[in-house]
Structure 1
Amino acid sequence: AMRAWALLSAVLWCLPGVECPRSTLFNSKGFIYGQLGHPEKIYVKLHQNSIVLICKDFKLAKKEIVDPTYLWIGPNEKTLTGNNRINITKTGQLMVKDFLEPLSGLYTCTLSYKTVKAETQEEKTVKKRYDFMVFVNPFAPGWKGACNGSADCDDIPNHNILQARDRIEEFFRRQAYIFYRNFNKTLPAMHFVDHSFQVVRLDSCRPGFGKNEGLHSNCASCCVVCSPGTFSPDVDVTCQTCISVFIYGAKSCPTSNKNRQYED
């Protein structure tokens, strides 16, 4: 019973009536435009496809541009090309499939296009840069199967947990009634106080993740992948400092002795 109770508590993120944080990921159209001089923060669920990043600002996307080219740079500061995980369209849209911790970081796109002066027909090349900071946050294993493709998957596990709470409460109530009706002469009286069984919210993050309201104010209650320079070896909600870490999602801190431990 205690093990089941711990499981119920661990996966309860947001209760009905309590506003759950919505990150940039939850865009109803499934994509986001860049903004000049302002990096966009996007939060992607682990093993889910990222939101579509568009290498244009919203205003420019409404205009026709001449000879556009798009150059995407990934977190490793290398040029991104299309493959089985990275999908880049001819119109500069990027999506990452099956997002993992190491894929977190800065995604930069440089848009180049030409303008022509009507009076002199002089051509000029214009370049604009758009930055996207992409972070991954975890979700309970098996969430895809439980949600059946629902867009409101965050709410489904919470609904199931609260439903389990109601059924457990009803079980105790019926047990008290049965004992009272059938065994009141041979066993001590058994009583159940209505609504005395409660589900307690328990904050925890999987190893390699933590919460940081300062860096992720628009997703303050989310477990977000630990940034380079930090790590989280357990289910705590805090990423600890470690200057020897240079990756996202570190679960250990490399030491200076001979038995140095690195991420797999």
Structure 2
Amino acid sequence: MQGGGWGLSPALCSAALLPLGVLLNALFALTQVEAAIDEEQYSVKVIKKNYIYGNIKHQVNIYVKVYTNSPFLVCMDLALSQKEVIDPNYLWIGPNGKTLKAYREPDYTYQISVRFTTKECRLAANGQFFEELKKILNDLISDLTCHVIEPSYKCHVIKIPKHGLLDELFVTFQVNPFAPGWEAVCQQISYDCEDVTNRRVQEARDLIEEFFRKQTYVLKHEFRNVPAIHYIDHSFEVTRIDSCRPGFGKNDDTHNDCASCCVVCDPGTYSPNNEVRCQICTSIRIKHYGAKSC
């Protein structure tokens, strides 16, 4: 969640932790201790998970993942939290309840490309090989309710120094976590399923990478004669593609503290599908967060 448009309200905090808030200015009347230590000096181990530290110089943006517990706002900045402080007093600038934000993790899909040598581009066996490869890969990851989507291949003639001209197949496809049956798996989970689907597709990616990595070993040790079509060692390349659920989107400028998050669309914007960014709605005025239509 992100807070904004807050009004001043003095409060006394008797504990080290308070429920969710957005921005605080810590005023230590008795100790007059200044936060001189740069927060970046602290290792990640010092910062407790799900704890948000304030900052006396600027607003602190807070993002809360849906279907998870809200974080705790610590009554001081990180530097002062590591010191002994006597009788601290706090001045809080609290939420007005109108500008709270939520986010989700993006859904992962992996774009994979590999290359194979072939005898020639006009070889009829190229298409047959491609169909068989798709079947093998889908069988490999089916238990994870993942599947191969948007598969394609092209054959190119490559000029390689000291090797002349070689015909190669350039194969590309995506590994997607939403194969038939994924909804049934998610219904068995009491919390949001995106973490599970992302973990499954990562496992599927690893299985496919291991499959191609073993091809070189198999060619060297199990074949006396190298097949006409075979995998080119080290040609495996993978890129992660993120998508956001409807009503959510990324914005590196507005949410640079949570740049990889799919944050709920602001009023005036919407996201009807799995695109990465929220779109501006010009036909009507959207007053609520998370709009899926315009």
User: Rg bigger for which structure?
Assistant: 2
* Superposition TM-score tier, normalisation by shorter sequence: 0.3 to 0.5
More strand, by proportion: 2
